Structure 1
Amino acid sequence: MMLHKLRSATEQLHRDLEKDNLANKIMDHSINLNEYKLLLTQNYLAYAIVEPFLERYLEYYRADKSDRLKTDLLSMDSPIPKVELWLDFSCNNLTEAIGAAYVVEGSAMGGLMIGKNIPDCNSLENIPPQKFYSGKREDIQGFQNFQKLLRSKEFSEEEKDMAAKKAVETFELFGKAYCLQLQQL
């Protein structure tokens, strides 16, 4: 099963990424406004790089996560970094796009929980309503569509390996984005 292959190939990367992410400060309500803006900027970079490939290869995919992040950043007068100057990433076929989509769509599940905790962060009480970390259930619709896609196809072992490799690469891209500080952008 493709989902099992993706999960097992990225399990440690997923844990490592969650451990050192600024989103933890939302979960424990200790984040400050500048850290939150940095988290949005880091996410914007990663999503803006990956989403065009998902939209190209996945019929159901609508590239809106980077747009929502951009809207949130602009609503707080934060600059939008130039994505094309940043990281090299590509998907060359549907199978690679499935691997990348596993990371992008799966992140919506965590984003739902993060969004529900934003109102409890005192330092974020004056921000406008958020589009990316909105805490709304409809934000996980993409993951549901992704699961339908996986159930509708049979995958060879070679395809499973290719998708898992791209999922790992996508997690690594997100990891690089989460290491950036604003002065580097």
Structure 2
Amino acid sequence: MTVSEYLKQNTVAYHDAAEKLFNSQKIFSKTFTLEDYKKIIRTNYLMLLHSEDKIFKELDEYSEKLQLSDRKKLPLIEKDLKSLLLEKVVAGNELELISLHEALGAMYVIEGSTLGGNVIAKQLSKTDGFDDVTFNFFGCYHENTGTMWKSFKETLDAEVHENNYDEVLSGAKKLYTFLLNIN
């Protein structure tokens, strides 16, 4: 089993909890509101604000392999905050990543959310009330979303030895827990 399969299998409950928190089922029934969207953007902003620099710092030696310069999302979500007239704030809790492997796990969560975000952006762009919304964060990779996800997963699977799977999972769980506890 690859580390990406291991992560997918062992983070299902966290992923489902995040979907529930954000009322994701409403996206496909076209009952998702602008307020629901603002909640997702605000929460993801706080997650990125408190994690992106830490993750990228830990992953510096993999910068080229992971194309980190193309994966920065904080500036994009800040544009969404501004367009939605949301204020920048800070989270009440801190995120601590203690290793390269934990950072890879956290990155898995962020990159996975980008994959889902692309679907969300496409769906919401067809929903009433979202005509003027620019999906900078959720549409960050545009038509390259699948390619970027595949490239990330391939690097992750190639670089992480089975002995480190639990440490990578720990990083993913830490970021999910941080995200789920933002209020």
TM-score class normalised by the smaller sequence: 0.7 to 0.9
Q: 2:80 aligns with which of 72, 75, 90?
A: 72
Residue of structure 2 in register with 1:112 after alignment: 118
Show the counterpart of 2:45. 44
How does 1:1-185 map onto structure 2 within 5 Å? 1-58=2-59, 59=63, 60=66, 61-62=68-69, 64-83=72-91, 86-127=92-133, 129-134=134-139, 136-157=142-163, 159-177=164-182, 180=183
Deviation of 1:49 (Å): 1.4
Deviations 1:76-118 (A, max 9, x none): 22211135xx321122221111111111111111111101012
Secondary structure in 2 matching 1:80: coil
CA distance 1:142–1:48, shift in 2 (3 Å): farther
Q: Do the aligned partners of residues 80 and 87 (structure 1) sit closer, same or farther apart at CA in structure 2, a change above 3 Å counting?
A: same
Q: Contact 1:108–1:140 at 8 Å: present in 2 too?
A: no
Distance 1:72 1:154, change over 3 A: closer
Counterpart of 1:151, as a letter, is D
| TM-score of the pair, normalised by structure 1 | 0.83
How far, CA to CA, are the matches of 1:124 and 1:154 in structure 2? Answer: 40
Contact 1:112 1:137 in 2 (8 A): no
Aligned residues, how many? 174
Deviates more, 1:52-61 or 1:145-154: 145-154
Distance 1:117 1:154 in 2: 34
Q: Aligned-pair distance for 1:140?
A: 4.6
1:91 maps to a residue whose letter is: L
Provide the C-alpha distance between the structure 1 equivalents of 2:37 and 2:80, rounded to a whole number of angstroms.
Answer: 11
State the Cα distance separating 1:35 from its structure 2 match. 2.6
**TM-score normalised per structure 2:** 0.83
- Does the 8 A contact of 1:41 with 1:73 survive in 2? yes
3-state SS of the aligned residue for 2:129?
helix
Structure 1 runs not aligned, ≥5 long? 181-185
Structure 1 residue 28: Cα displacement: 2.2
Query: How many angstroms does 1:176 deviate by?
Result: 1.5
Residues 131-151 of structure 1 show CA distances to partners (whole Å, capped at 9, x for unaligned) of: 112282324554233213223
Q: Residues of 2 paired with 1:88 and 1:172: CA distance? A: 11
Question: Compared with structure 1, are the counterparts of its residues 95 and 88 closer, same or farther at alpha carbon in structure 2 (3 Å cutoff)?
Answer: same
Give identity over the alignment, percent: 22
Structure 2: where are the runs of 5+ without partners?
Answer: none
Letter in 2 for 1:145: S
